[in-house]
Amino acid sequence: MGVVGAGRVGAVLGSALRAAGHSVVGASAVSEDSRDRVDALLPGVPVLEVPEIVERAELVLLTVPDDALAGLVQGIADTGGWQAGQIVVHTAGRFGTGVLAPAQRAGAIPVALHPAMTFTGTSIDLSRLVGCPFAVTAPAPVLPIGQALVVEIGGEPVALPESARPLYHAALAHGANHLVTLVTQAMRVLGRAGVDEPGLYLGPLLTAALDGTLRDGELALTGPVLRGDAGTVAEHLASLAALAAEDSGLADLPPAYRTLARVTTQRAWSAGRLTDSAAQLLLDAVAETPVPAHPAADDDAPAAPAPSPVLVRTRADLREVLDRQRGTRAVVMTMGALHEGHLDLVREARRRADHVVVTIFVNPLQFAPGEDLDAYPRDLEADLAKLAEVGADVVFAPDPETMYPNGDPRVRVEPGPLAAVLEGATRPTHFAGVLTVVLKLLHLTRPHVALFGQKDAQQLALVRAMVRDLDVDVEVVGVPIRREPDGLAMSSRNAYLSGTDRAAALALSGALDAARGAAGAGAEQVLAAARERLVAEPGVRLDYLELVDPETMEAVPADASGPALLVVAAWVGTTRLIDNTILDLWKDE
């Protein structure tokens, strides 16, 4: 036999086959490291050029990088190097025997062997080959040749069809190579947290997690996702984002955590290990809200204008535009006067779907007499410019006559008891109007996914309940609250606040911060801490402050634990504001 490519894999496998009785006639080695490996693992074997090895060997072992393999095989074929009856074996996990077709056409016997292990390129690897599984791919008549080679060196042959090779290799790379990235990230974060030897600290935990997963699969999952601890997950993301802001070398941490937490949630949810409400809260906590990129300060080149979204105002025009779209569609429903919170919804929609439709409609049904329907801010031109910057494709901006051609609709959506508390107690007709227009807009825009802000938490819960109970075929996604730098939740109604009112309004987000700090003392202390902060601000007149179940909006008991939603509504001057946060309740005994 001859070894083409005396890297870590080739030198070890050549040594193992030599020990099994095969005579190694030569090995190719370009680098100094490869030559050293030949000396150490294949003593006495001459280093030869590839053509000479192929000419001398009855079995040629090709252990070159995946991307070089096809060119090497074809190059040898072009020079007439392959011989009839010669066994040609490669070890690339990515390929089956198709890559050896040029050799096979010359009469060679193609075999693909891939050991499921990592190699150090030293004698340590020889003992690790014993019991190691090898994927073996070969035409049926010669499959036993590949299996026999594996058995000779102590491995376990596993027959793998040609068509399965890409998935097989992707699985191994995902499980092993990406694990290195994940563990390295965890070690770096522990180091920044002050742990001196993060590898030693993680060792027992990761060993137990890996052993459990290999034994029990997803049943081995533990941690905040399985517990439904959305607040903990959100806090993790905030901490990682702060760390990444300090160190650009850790910028990949938040998106990696976010993606894995989302996938873990979806897997646990589909397996029935999370309730719908717990899963939705977790998915809301990890929803992406990227800030749009800005040009560098020293970049004097004018930016190309963003393409404007298509503006449609009638049902017929909307139908015509949507009928031309292919792929998935997301909808974001707004009343205009757009701010960064709205634009976060559009950015998330852009990530989730091929096409994004934004609706702008100040819905009269959700305003009671005496509320601010006429005064509600409207600036369609400015809204269109903002939507162009974040990639909206279509803006549907109907007038009331288009939405309600016969005047007030005689049939409306009855929201049920969920709408009778909190916002519903203060605004008893509000949610019937909201759900009616949302359902109409879902029918008109026909989306695959609809995105709503977590700031209107009760509205989000009601929309989810309506979609579930009325079998509306759409995925509802909540997007986290976007806040001003000082913590105030973004709202179109913030424009009503005077300077004094604006300062007083910070008591709402301050109350939520105080409540988070008391989460370990139980529900009663959470409410007390938040109320104390609100009462201390004379410019705030409290409407309600409640700690509720995120799905039913019912008040949680004093001994509650796990995720809960703290909601607040208050008047600041003449402006009514709302805010909320998810908390993980627990009692530190």
What residues act catalytically? 342
Cα–Cα nearest to 447, from 430, 463, 431: 463
Kindly report each contact of residues 498-501 with a partner whose C-beta sits within 8 Å and lies 24 or more positions away, as own/partner: 498/573, 500/539, 500/573, 501/539, 501/572, 501/573, 501/575
Residue 449 one-letter amino acid: V
Q: How far apart are CA 43 and CA 446, in angstroms?
A: 70
Name the 3-class secondary structure at 326: coil
Q: 426: Cβ–Cβ under 8 A, 6 or more apart, which residues? A: 543, 544, 569
Neighbours of 320 (CB within 10 A): 11
Residue 293 CA, chain-centre distance (Å), reads 20
133 burial type by CB count under 10 A (0-12 exposed, 13-18 middle, 19+ buried): middle
Q: How far apart are CA 445 and CA 325, in angstroms?
A: 11
Q: Which two tokens stand for residue 24?
A: 């190694």
Q: 164: Cβ–Cβ under 8 A, 6 or more apart, which residues? A: none
Residues counted in the chain: 589
Pairing of strands 26-28, 2-4: parallel
Q: 291: Cβ–Cβ under 8 A, 6 or more apart, which residues? A: none
Q: How far apart are CA 58 and CA 89, in angstroms?
A: 11
Give the side-chain half-sphere CA count within 13 A for 255: 5
Phi-psi bin for 272: left (phi > 0), alpha (psi -120 to 50), beta?
left
Q: How far apart are CA 46 and CA 58, in angstroms?
A: 16
Pairing of strands 87-90, 59-62: parallel
Q: How far apart are CA 477 and CA 352, in angstroms?
A: 10
Q: 464: Cβ–Cβ under 8 A, 6 or more apart, which residues? A: 280, 476
Cα torsion 224, 226, 227, 228: sign: positive
Pairing of strands 156-159, 310-312: unpaired
Q: Which two tokens stand for residue 101?
A: 């077709």
Q: Which two tokens stand for residue 524?
A: 């009663």
Q: Are 281 and 563 within 8 A, CB to CB?
A: yes
Neighbours of 291 (CB within 10 A): 10
Map tokens 């986290």 to a residue: 480
Map tokens 């979806």 to a residue: 266
